[in-house]
């Protein structure tokens, strides 16, 4: 049932009953680094960060990330920064909730990215994934397994963009390098 989208594949966020999506959630999960035996404090924690960049035309208008948890208009909310990861059991460790109905009219694209803030590449992180979920029924729209993704520290995951009256999602899955979303901006621009 998990839609493992291939790169560049677009799916319309129309529900089977014809209604469009109203809320989506980007989830990011990964497994915490194993504890060091003695000085556990000095475990090299793995900190992945989920961000959402809101574009109007080609121009970034707002961004939701760990330093700015709610977009100014309130439509996109980050549930809080997780600095260490989780159990690696498939649960989301960071989530960004998007209320598509409340997104301001001039915002036409929202790009979701994942960055490794602590610098580990996806090859070193266990059980890392990111996914896009229809928040109304919990259905997964897209899922990427980040683990084994090679020597990259960032991924531009997907974009949700306006299509007619509704929204459409395009899976991007572009690997990149960068500590925060700012480093990714040059890579995002050609994908808009």
Partner 1 sequence: MAAELVRGQNHPLPGSRLEIRVSAGGPVMAGATLGDEDGRLREPGWIAHPASPRLPGLEVSRQAAADHRIAVDLEALPEAVHRVNVLLALPTGAGGPLSFGATAAPVVAVTGPDGTGIAGYTITGLGTESAVVAVELYRRLGAWKVRAVGQGYAGGLAAMLEDQGLPRARELAAAVEEAIASGAARSVAPPPARTGGEDRGRRTAPAGGPPAAPGTAPDALPYAPPDTAAALRPASRGPTAPTAPPPPAAGPVDYRHPRRAARTAAAPPPPPPAQPGPPGRPARPVAGDAAGWSMEERLYNQVWGMFEDLARTTAAYRSAVDFADSRMEQELDKALADPRSRIGAAADTARARARERHAQLADRARAAFERDLAQLTAESEVVEPALPPAFARWDSPVWHAYQVPVETPMAVRLGDLGLPEHSGLRIPMLMRLPLERGLWIDAGRTRSAASLTADPHETRRLAGELATAVAGRLLAVHPVGDFTVHALDPTGAAAPTLAPLSESGALREPPATGPQGVASVLAGLTRRVDLVQMAVRTGATDALPPDVDPAEQLLIVHDFPHGFDDRAVTRLRYLADEGPSVGVHLMMVADREEAREYGPVLDPLWRSLLRITPVPDDHLADPWVGHAWTYEPPLVPGGSRVLSRALGQVAEARRRYGR
List residues binding partner 1 (CB under 8 A): 1, 56-57, 59, 61-62, 67-70, 72-75, 77, 79-80, 88-91, 102, 104-106, 127, 138-140
Closest distance to partner 1 from the beta carbon of 16 (Å): 13
Residue among 69 and 176 whose Cβ is closer to partner 1? 69
Closest distance to partner 1 from the beta carbon of 44 (Å): 22
Closest distance to partner 1 from the beta carbon of 177 (Å): 25
DSSP state at residue 6: P
- C-alpha 154/C-alpha 133 separation (Å) is 20
Closest CA to 156 of 144, 168, 140: 144
Closest CA to 160 of 97, 115, 116, 118: 97
Residue among 73 and 183 whose Cβ is closer to partner 1? 73
Give the 3-state secondary structure of residue 137.
Answer: coil
173 contacts 149 by C-beta, under 8 angstroms: no
Closest distance to partner 1 from the beta carbon of 1 (Å): 5
């Amino acid at each position: 049932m998990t839609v493992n989208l291939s790169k560049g594949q677009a799916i319309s966020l129309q529900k089977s009953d014809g209604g469009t999506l109203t809320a989506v959630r980007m989830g990011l999960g990964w497994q915490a680094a194993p504890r060091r035996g003695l000085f556990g404090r000095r475990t090299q924690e793995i900190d992945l960060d989920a961000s959402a960049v809101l574009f109007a035309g080609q121009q970034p208008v707002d961004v939701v990330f760990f330093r700015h948890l709610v977009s100014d208009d309130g439509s996109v909310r980050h549930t809080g920064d997780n600095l260490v990861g989780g159990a690696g059991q498939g649960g989301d460790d960071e989530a960004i909730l998007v209320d598509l109905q409340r997104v301001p009219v001039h915002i036409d694209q929202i790009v979701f990215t994942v960055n490794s803030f602590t610098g580990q590449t996806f090859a070193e992180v266990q059980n890392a994934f990111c996914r896009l979920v229809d928040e109304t029924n919990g259905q997964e729209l897209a899922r990427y397994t980040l683990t084994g993704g090679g020597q990259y520290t960032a991924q531009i995951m997907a974009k949700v963009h306006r299509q007619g009256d509704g929204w459409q999602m395009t899976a991007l899955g572009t690997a990149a390098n960068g500590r925060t979303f700012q480093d990714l901006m040059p890579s995002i621009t050609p994908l808009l």
